[in-house]
Amino acid sequence: MTTATTLRSRLHRGAALTALVLAVGAAAPAFAQETGSVTLDDVIVTAQKRSENIQEVPVSVATMGGEKLDALFAGGEDVLALSSRVPGLFVESSNGRAAPRFYIRGLGNTDFDLAASQPVSVIMDDVVMENVVLKSTPIFDVDQVEVLRGPQGTLFGRNTTAGIVKFDSVKPSQTFKANGTVTYGTYGSWTAEGGVGGPLIEGKLAGRIAVLGQHRDNYIDNAFTHVKDAMGGYDEYAIRGQLLWTPTENLSVLLNAHNRTLDGTAAIFRANILTKGSNKINGNFDRDSVFYNGGANNPQKYDGNGESIKVDYDFGGVTLTSISAYETTNGYSRGDIDGGVAGVGPGFIPFDSDTRDGIDDLDQYTQEVRLASDTEGPFSWQFGGYYFKSDFLVTTDAGFNKATLNHKNTAWAGFGQVAYQVTPALKITGGARYTDDKKTMTVVGSTAPEVSVSDSKVSWDLSAFYDVTDDFSLYARAAHGFRGPTIQGRDIVFFSPASVAKSETIQSYEVGFKSELLDRRLRFNGAAFTYEEKDPQFSAIGGAGNNTLLINADKGQAYGVEFDGEFKVTENLLLTAGYSYNHTKIKDKDLAVAVCAQCTVTDPLNAKGQALVDGNPFPNAPKYVLNFTARYSYPIGDGELFAYTDWFKQGYTNIFLYQSKEFYSKGAFEGGLKLGYAKRDGAYEIAAFARNITNEVNLRGGIDFNNLTGFVNEPRIVGISISAKR
């Protein structure tokens, strides 16, 4: 099938989804009861560091909040639960709950090292969580999640070539608010989450404190050591306290302090659960059992905390904002990486691998200062400066060798953005950012020379937003971004030198529409995009040599579409749907990488037995993502019986840079269901829930260096939840 034919086929799927939504919308009046009072609420986002209606922002952005988030995390899952729940977003990890890897529009980084750089930034309460461990900050008492697709380098900095996942917690206010949720389910899983806040000094000082506790019993037996319930559980606790001081109408000061503690099980690697020549999970897989002689039952422990202070001062038409933040974390993970016992099984395992990776004394400091206009005129602007500094140790112990690496990163930037309302219907926005980025790495206790990389670049974006009607708008956006150079030193443990990758740059174009139809009962937004990366950074992971190497390809190219829809069919029925199609391709005729020890490689090989990956898709870039939710309620007095369900399906997803018959997933899907009773004013809710209700076993990743090892998604969790708020 030609590329053009493939594109037409995928676009037809997107068009079919569009037609389906619009057809349902057209038919809805036949069964709607009170169409005049049935409307969607406005969605406010801060994609441009201002509070704006999502329908007026020239960016492809999706949001999640409220019941969607509550349902996803009811079974105790971590941030990986967000994967494929938003079109274009994929999240995975081979480090358990501690170090997730994010991908947007196919761009991400498969590198599992604790010093790895990622092209997706995670922002928590206006503070970038740069290190992969910081990206695993627990999600609790969150008001909204925003997913900004495409380069966001002007306002949010370097390392955002793919996009941003932005979390905003519930803030203190002068109105008393309290909420709490308790869940209990399979494997002794329980979650207790709550927040309470309100005025401390009337009109001057408000506070809020939120807590999270999560637990799961160990449920996986170690059949080799004959220990029942040896692993699989966890205990995670987090707390966040905030104080909002407003001594005058012009000044606000927000203090934020938080802590998390994790004690549980790292990723569960399962040897030879793939059969040579097939990507289907075979009989070696047992959800409740493994066969380990190493890894000490795969423990994982992390502890971290952070503080920030945000100051806003209104000078009258101009607002000064300062955000100062500090984050620190320590911890480790250990694992039986081969997933079995050498010479015994399951399947053929030539040698054992037991590895411990830890991060110590991570210190991250960030400072942002910006001035922004705050007037009603046609011209608006904002400009500022940013400083970033991190310093941490990463220790890898492979049993036969151990090394501690000191990583340091310093970056600073100046940025600005202007917008002009050319006509009542047309608005033009443009911005630019200059960033200087430097990284160093030294081997602690060694005379080896310091490895250093640095670069400075300008990133920019330009967009036009046009209101065709009051309910339908078009936009176009061009953006240029970059990810700074990177150092990977993990192979020092395996007696190989450190590797480096130079900066990657991206040029992205997108056009889209935003609409609210049927008297604001249907919100339907879409975008088509294309981008080209120069010198894209990839990580050549695994292979028979068990290497972890940074490489640059010549180019990377992609195109695709995204649709987000929300439809208030009646007062009692709400539907949401999303679809993304993403075609990515590596463009480098000479790029060759090491391949798996036992799998069936489908790429051509060079004389060294390496795979030539020109034309391959980016790793962990789903060909498509389709998601859907529905909520129906039946009124009973001052309450309601309700049913809520959510589903996703994920297209072909290659795991490594090379392609094989084993290491990919295709057609993975997962769903959840929640049934219960709730007061209409939200005072309380009692429900039964099921996560991964069909108990799907989906391949989420692989280890390829000595056997066909894989790791899979979370098991089915069935339970009950009780929540209340005031």
Residue 33: pLDDT over 70: no
* CA of residue 663 relative to chain centroid, distance: 22
Go through the domains of the chain in sequence order and give each one's CATH number: 3-242+253-725 (2.40.170.20)
Contact status, residue 385 vs residue 368, Cβ threshold 8 Å: yes
pLDDT grade, residue 359 (50/70/90)?
Answer: very high
pLDDT grade, residue 481 (50/70/90)?
Answer: very high
Say what the pLDDT of residue 725 is.
Answer: 94
Say what the pLDDT of residue 5 is.
Answer: 42
Contact status, residue 597 vs residue 704, Cβ threshold 8 Å: yes
Residue 35: pLDDT over 80: no
Residue 568: pLDDT over 60: yes
Say what the pLDDT of residue 440 is.
Answer: 98
Give the residue among 146, 176, 180, 148 at the shortest CA–CA distance from 70: 180
Q: What average pLDDT is seen over the chain?
A: 93
Give the residue among 231, 269, 90 at the shortest CA–CA distance from 711: 269
Say what the pLDDT of residue 548 is.
Answer: 83
Q: What is the token pair recorded at 248?
A: 């005058």
CA dihedral 388, 51, 311, 198 (to 10 degrees): -120
Burial (CB < 10 A; 0-12, 13-18, 19+), residue 137, is buried
Say what the pLDDT of residue 322 is.
Answer: 98
Q: What is the token pair recorded at 568?
A: 């208030």
Q: What is the pLDDT of residues 296-315, one digit of tens each?
A: 999 999 999 999 999 999 99
Distances (CA, A) of 547 to 589, 617, 706: 22, 21, 12
Q: What percent of the chain has pLDDT over 90?
A: 90
Q: What is the pLDDT of residues 211-228, one digit of tens each?
A: 999 999 999 999 999 999
Say what the pLDDT of residue 38 is.
Answer: 87
Burial (CB < 10 A; 0-12, 13-18, 19+), residue 434, is middle
What is the rounded CA–CA span in Å between residue 581 and residue 599? Answer: 28
Q: What is the pLDDT of residues 486-516, one digit of tens each?
A: 999 988 998 889 999 999 999 999 999 999 9
pLDDT grade, residue 375 (50/70/90)?
Answer: confident
Residue 7: pLDDT over 70: no
Distances (CA, A) of 578 to 77, 618, 675, 714: 22, 22, 23, 23
Residues 6+ apart with CB under 8 A from 100: 78, 79, 80, 91, 92, 93, 132, 135, 136
Average pLDDT, integer, range 14-35: 40
Q: Say whether 698 sits in a helix, a strand or coil.
A: coil
* Angle at the Cα of 154 from the Cα atoms of 103 and 515, rounded to 5 degrees: 70
Residue 454: pLDDT over 70: yes
Q: What percent of the chain has pLDDT over 70?
A: 95
Distances (CA, A) of 207 to 26, 176, 238, 326, 721: 47, 10, 17, 20, 27
Q: What is the pLDDT of residues 518-539, one digit of tens each?
A: 999 999 999 999 999 999 999 9
Q: What is the pLDDT of residues 664-715, one digit of tens each?
A: 999 999 999 999 999 988 899 999 999 999 999 999 999 999 999 999 999 9
Q: What is the pLDDT of residues 126-170, one digit of tens each?
A: 999 999 999 999 999 999 999 999 999 999 988 899 999 999 999
Residue 573: pLDDT over 90: yes
Residue 37: pLDDT over 90: no
Contact status, residue 317 vs residue 374, Cβ threshold 8 Å: yes
Average pLDDT, integer, range 470-493: 95
Contact status, residue 155 vs residue 148, Cβ threshold 8 Å: no
pTM over 0.85: yes
Residue 379: pLDDT over 90: yes
Contact status, residue 591 vs residue 553, Cβ threshold 8 Å: yes
Say what the pLDDT of residue 114 is.
Answer: 94
Residue 12: pLDDT over 80: no
Question: Is the bond leading into 346 cis (omega within 30 degrees of zero)?
Answer: yes
Least confidently predicted of 35-49, 258-272, 307-321, 390-404? 35-49
Residue 477: pLDDT over 70: yes
Say what the pLDDT of residue 547 is.
Answer: 76
Question: What's the length of the chain?
Answer: 726
Give the residue among 402, 705, 336, 352 at the shortest CA–CA distance from 541: 705
